[in-house]
A and B are shown apart, each in its own frame.
Chain A
Amino acid sequence: MNSQCLLVKRLNKKFAGLQAIRDLTLCVEAGERRAVIGPNGAGKTTLFNLISGTLLPSSGEIHIFGRDVTWLPPHRRAALGLARTFQITNLFPNLSLLENVLLAVQAMEGVNFSALYRGSACKRLETRSYELLDEWGMRAKAGELVRKLSYGDQRQVDLILALAGKPKLLLLDEPTAGLSPAETTVVTEAIRKLDHNITIVLVEHDMDVAFSLADHVSVFHLGSLLAEGSVSEIKHDPKVQEIYLGE
């Protein structure tokens, strides 16, 4: 029970006429790396939206670190240590790279209200932001507007923002989507090197990336779980091959 990081229990989500998630039960252990794969429209991003709180379920429960978060708003879940990236670029386009990172850093430091002015706490936040940018080799671009950065850079920024708050549960929604092979390798390696205390749930279309990063795999189809197991089990599962080949 205490090693359970994420528990999804009998989750259902229905949109007008469409059952997007069907009676789903899923359990991810702390420190695990779980890949969620499945054909398009299987409900993977909907699942992420439900876990992060962007969407509310039709029925069912979601527990994070043993706490029932089913009805908690997104910002309260983030305070528990949840972070996510987005499939479609969702950054702060007209702000500089530094400001983007600063927003992520200051959120978790709790200074957003207490400092209505700029004090010494701000200096500390700025320093930490520059440190983060250094780790990713992006310090030179700190002053640039994010909307002017290349797509590959923006996907990196997506990751930086999610990591800035030192999350304990990280949801990565197709982190390599649209990246060139070289960029994909860079991002994959960066994810691989992440602290193994962080639980990672990864939605990926690129099977190689998914299988190379994951300990376990959950396969989705039409809103429910088709199969679950280790990487090699799933690779050889005939049901899984069928849904992909049948596409």
Chain B
Amino acid sequence: MRVHLQRIVWIVGLLGLLALLPLALTEYYLGLVTRMMIYAVFAMSLDILLGYTGLPSLGHAAFFGVASYTVGIVSVKVTQNFGLVIASTVGVTIAISAVFGVLAIRASGAYFFMITLALAQVLWGVAFKWRALTGGDDGLPGVPRPSLGISFSLGSTTNFYVFVLVISVLVAAVLFLCVRSPFGLALKGIRESETRMRALGYNVRLHKYLAFIISGFFAGLAGMLFAYYNGFVSPSDLSIVLSAKVLLMVILGGAGTLFGPAVGAGLIVLLESLVSAQSERWLFILGSFYVAVALFAPQGIGGALKARLGTSVSL
């Protein structure tokens, strides 16, 4: 399972292109690509759970939103110290993943759907109602860009773009190594047959729990980046709509291909910005898109590519 030279060339080329984009694009489009990358991280995190372990979470926005809210609340009300913000965000995200994991992992199939959705909705409801802490449905504006303590200011679109680019690439690399590791293979095994995995001696429940936490952690990372990108946190960071959107990104890109969902994320973000510029009926179009993908492309782009290449060993 060596990575072929051809693939290395592709990857280097892509990275080079991304690195040079600030020279070619206006601020608006650069911001758009930044958002694409943030959602790519979000989508890849869900793929670990959905595509690799076979656990379809319908409430993944919970981790994204809890992180973005932590960033918002801490930066606006407590301290802007980047280190402290990160520490508290990581802490809260992992804590929520751990608790939700305990509640959700024992369920399977339809129950898992329902439970993940319901848990995310609980958080949404809390954010919506606890005005004193979260600003209620008005949200929390004025989240400042973090200062890294060096002369590289993240206030400018270009610099923030580079910041997000570096983090996204690191995340992609880490997740790539993770899914190609024995642990990643075990997750795929669980997706294919839990009973066989148990018979072989794997502690399936522990694996699932770890996958849940890892997935939640990276979703939280995306949420943190998003809070800084947006400068504003609101209940929509925890909404069903967002959970549904990231699910679509994964399926459209191809569940279980890791980079497919990243591409899917880019496409959906692009589509959303194009359509909402033209029409108010973005939700209707998004909904129709879901039905269309279900009817015509359930394997997604990545899945179709994999079928063409005829191997499961690629990613």
Contacts and interface: CB of A to CB of B under 8 A. Distances in A.
Interface stretch (A2-10, A93-101, A179-187, A235-243): A93-101
Contacts of B199: 52, 54, 74, 78, 83-84, 86
A94 B299 CA distance: 13
Given A95-B312, A96-B312, A161 B200 contact: yes
Nearest to B184: A116
Chain B contact residues, majority secondary structure = helix
Given A103-B186, A143-B313, A116 B201 contact: no
Interface stretch (B4-12, B138-146, B189-197, B244-252): B189-197
A91 interface: yes
Size bracket of the A interface: 35 or more
A90 B193 contact: yes
Interface in B177-205: 177-178, 180-183, 185-186, 188-189, 192-193, 195-204
Interface size class of B (residues with CB under 8 A): 20 to 34
Interface string A164-183: 01000000000000000000
B188 A92 contact: yes
- Which of B181, B199, B311 has the largest number of chain A CB atoms within 10 A? B199
B2 to A, nearest CB: 11
B19 to A, nearest CB: 26
A104 B198 CA distance: 11
A37 to B, nearest CB: 23
Given A115-B181, A165-B200, A99 B313 contact: yes
Contacts of B198: 53-54, 73-75, 78
B185 A90 contact: no
A117 B312 contact: no
Given A107-B200, A118-B180, A54 B186 contact: no
Contacts of A53: 198
B200 A103 contact: yes
B57 to A, nearest CB: 20
Interface of B: 177-178, 180-183, 185-186, 188-189, 192-193, 195-204, 207, 311-313
Given A83-B200, A118-B180, 11 more contacts: A54-B199, A73-B198, A75-B202, A78-B200, A91-B193, A93-B192, A96-B311, A112-B182, A116-B177, A125-B182, A143-B313
Interface of A: 52-54, 73-75, 78-79, 83-84, 86, 90-96, 98-99, 102-104, 106-108, 111-113, 115-118, 122, 125, 143, 145, 161, 165
14 contacts: A75-B200, A75-B201, A78-B198, A78-B201, A86-B199, A91-B196, A94-B312, A95-B192, A95-B312, A106-B182, A107-B200, A112-B202, A116-B177, A117-B178
